[in-house]
Amino acid sequence: MGETQSRHALIIANDRYDDQGLKKLRAPAQDATALAEVLHDPEIGDFEVDVVRNAPADMMRRRIQGFFNDRRRDDTAVLHFSCHGMKSESGELYFAATDTDPRMLDATAVPAQFVRRCMSHTRARSTVLFLDCCYGGAFTRGSSSVRASGDVNVLESFAGTKPPGGRGWAVITASNSMEYAFEGPELAENHAPRPSVFTHAVVEGLETGEADLDADGEVHLDELYEYVFERVQDQNPNQTPSRTVEMQGELHLAHNRRGRIKIAAVPSPPSLLAAVNSDNAFTRQGAVLELRSRMFNDSLAVAEGARQHLEEIARNDIRQIADEASRALREIRLAPSPDRLEFGPVPQGSDPPQRSVTLSGPPLARHCVAQSTQSWLRVEPSTTGLNVRVETFTEGDLAGDVVLKGVADEVVVHVEVVVEPAGERGTRTIPEPPPTDSTSPPPKDQETVVVHTPPPQPPPVPPPPPPRGPTGSGEQQTRVAQSWFRRVPAFATAAIACATAAVIAVILGIQAAAAAVGDRSETGPGGNIEDNVRDQGALVPLTVSVLTAAAALVLVALARHDLESRRESYTKSALKVTRPLTSLAKVLALTALILAAFTLLAYLVGSHWW
């Protein structure tokens, strides 16, 4: 908010009425107390709150008009009614005061049109009206002085153009038409007073932060309505909160003091996800290393996507790979230094001392929400982490915590200080506060801040820990896993070499076999083909041909698999060269393999007979 902005709330609660036809309400007193506390809390609403209880109609009108007249251009104004809502014979809506006479509503009640005119004439930038009014239950049975024929559409009373000079207004009502605005599950005479269903949902959503549906640390008007609607409908399906909004942009109503970090993750590339889901454990092991590298990325969205995939691996994969994923996840834990701050004795009323807390680790680890648990603790982000200040207005031995909440964990920085009366410090010394960064933002009233300290240069990524298990040394597996991808050109070249060697070997083997057959024919009946084959050395080249052809086919398969799964990693020229190389290697290898196999098979069959 800008320097001229301020936030004001007026709560009107009437539960006692002079007229016997208006039954006593139990909720308004509790409504006023609970709502005033949460709106006034500097960590939540930070509103200046004024409460008017059981006032006559003329005082209500004065307070309402004065409330809107006193607002400035950038102010936010919230008006809350908790009382009976009444309808005149002409269909107009009124709010009941303690001295309201149902037969003279114009003189003794507050017309909705009066409230609307006050809202239209205010200079406040944004105005919100909450109506927790009991329209259908405003009249006791058998009362001759109160008539409520027909329905009253509450929102129609506030429809119209937005006020000039401001962003507009919003009206949220506990129920529509003539529905009963329930005060709770029980309304027996001996039941303890409690907030109404509607106001209780408003208070609960703001106080707990659950109304911060998108988890951005702020509760906006639309989020609050959606939260309240669901809560009220869950408790009482017969009560339907309604709203009308004539406002540009989003209106921030409160802070979520229990805010959490939520980062929209960027999914990892399809090729990497394919490796994560591979049936080959070694491929999944390489994927873990790649995900760990992405988790150190300066882009929080990229890093968060990798972290989420690693969490899934840590939960679902085999133990060896799950352990590696868990070790990688531990590297993005919050690591504040120091995790305990002792300010020592300071005089009451002195300038607030300050200490710095440094956050280490990759960017994703340093991105967190810092929340103080005490009003005298102030937290501000800094270039290296956060600054913690201690307000000295409260005397005594003070202890509190700064809670840091990151995407993966939560840690606490404990703070202690002794605030002494001025002039009674004795001989103890006051620690000198460290110099502050002149570029730091000014202190805020709220005690929740988002801390993100990107380093001037990307941090070096330490070497990954060696994998465990019987599959080889950690250093060997790491080198192989890191270089597993982007080897298509090397695989294709090696496949061509093996296929060529296989063709040469099979030619030499066939030539030697043919010479052995010729020798056997000249020997006559006393000869043996095995002796002739051995003399010509035909088996060695044929065996070499089979092995090299098989190796060439394996290399072709590896090259094509990597080419399809990581196509984006290669240039167009590399793709144009690689495809024909792998095709040629496959043809040569298959030819050599078939010829060598056929020649060996003929030898094995014929050697028994010749």
Residue type, position 69, single letter? N
Q: Which two tokens stand for residue 441?
A: 């933002």
Measured at the CA of 206, the angle between CA 203 and CA 157, to 5 degrees, comes to 65
216: pLDDT strictly greater than 50? yes
481 falls in which pLDDT band (50, 70, 90)? very low
Q: Per mean pLDDT, which range of 245-259, 477-491, 522-536, 561-575 is the poorest? A: 477-491
Structure tokens at 60: 């209500």
Percent of the chain exceeding pLDDT 70 equals 74
Q: Which long-range contacts (CB under 8 A, 24 or more apart) does 497-501 make?
A: 497/552, 498/548, 498/549, 498/551, 498/552, 498/555, 498/585, 498/589, 499/548, 499/549, 499/552, 499/584, 499/585, 499/586, 499/587, 499/588, 499/589, 499/592, 500/588, 501/544, 501/545, 501/548
Can you tell me the distance from the alpha carbon of 383 to that of 439, in angstroms, rounded to the nearest whole number?
Answer: 9
Cα distance between the two ends of the chain: 101
Please list, in sequence order, all residues whose beta carbon lies within 8 angstroms of the beta carbon of residue 236, skipping any fewer than 6 positions away: 182, 197
Q: Is 133 in contact with 85 (CB distance < 8 Å)?
A: yes
Reference 508, options 553, 533, 545; nearest CA is: 545
Structure token pair of residue 564: 């399809």
Closest CA to 401 of 340, 359, 344: 340
Amino acid at 510: I
Q: What is the mean pLDDT of the chain?
A: 77
184: pLDDT strictly greater than 80: no
Q: Which residue has the higher pLDDT, 147 or 272?
A: 272
Q: Which two tokens stand for residue 170?
A: 């919003």
Reported as a pLDDT band with limits 50, 70 and 90, residue 59 is: very high
Of these ranges, 1-10, 323-332, 481-490, the one predicted with the greatest mean pLDDT is 323-332
pLDDT, residue 157, reads 62
Which has more pLDDT, 455 or 348? 348
pLDDT given at position 12: 95
pLDDT band at 250 (very low <50, low <70, confident <90, very high): confident
How do residues 385-406 score in pLDDT, each as one tens digit?
Answer: 889 999 888 888 999 898 888 8
The predicted structure's pLDDT at residue 431: 44
Q: What's the confidence (pLDDT) of residue 526?
A: 64
421, two tokens? 């009366």
Please report the pLDDT score of residue 135 as a whole number: 64
Q: What is the pTM of this model?
A: 0.47
Report residue 172's pLDDT band, with 50, 70 and 90 as the boundaries.
confident
Per-residue pLDDT of 532-588, as tens digits, reads: 777 777 788 888 888 888 888 888 887 777 766 665 555 555 666 677 777 888 888
**Run of H or E residues at 133:** strand 126-134
- Regarding predicted confidence, which is higher, 364 or 580? 364
pLDDT of residue 572: 57
Rounded CA-CA distance 381/387 in Å is 6
pLDDT at 159: 60
Helices 300-316 & 319-329 angle (0-180, nearest 10): 150
Share of the chain residues as helix, strand and coil, in percent rounded to the nearest 5: 40, 20, 40
Phi, psi of 246 (to 5 degrees): -130, 75
Amino acid, single-letter form, for residue 149 = S
Measuring CA to CA, how many Å separate 236 from each of 180, 228, 375?
10, 12, 37
Instruction: Name the strand (E) or helix (H) holding 232.
Output: helix 221-235
Q: How far is CA 96 from CA 20, 148, 171, 239, 240, in A?
A: 13, 14, 18, 21, 21
- What number of other Cβ atoms are within 10 A of residue 378's Cβ? 21
Contact 370, 449 (CB under 8 A): yes
pLDDT of residue 560: 75
Residue 378, pLDDT above cutoff 60: yes
CA distance 367 to 334: 9
What are the DSSP E strand ranges found in 21-75? 48-53
Q: What is the dihedral of CA 151, 152, 154, 158, to 10 degrees?
A: 140
Most confident of the ranges 84-98, 116-130, 436-450, 555-569? 116-130
Q: Is the pLDDT of residue 238 over 70?
A: yes
Q: What is the per-residue pLDDT for 470?
A: 45
- Round to whole Å and give the CA distance between 495 and 553: 7
- Neighbouring CB atoms inside 10 A of 427's CB total 4
Q: Pairing mode, if any, of strands 76-87 and 126-134?
A: parallel
Flag whether pLDDT at 215 surpasses 60.
Answer: yes
- Partners of 449 in beta bridges: 370
Give the Cα separation of 500 and 195 in Å (integer).
87
Gap between the Cα atoms of 31 and 132, Å rounded: 9
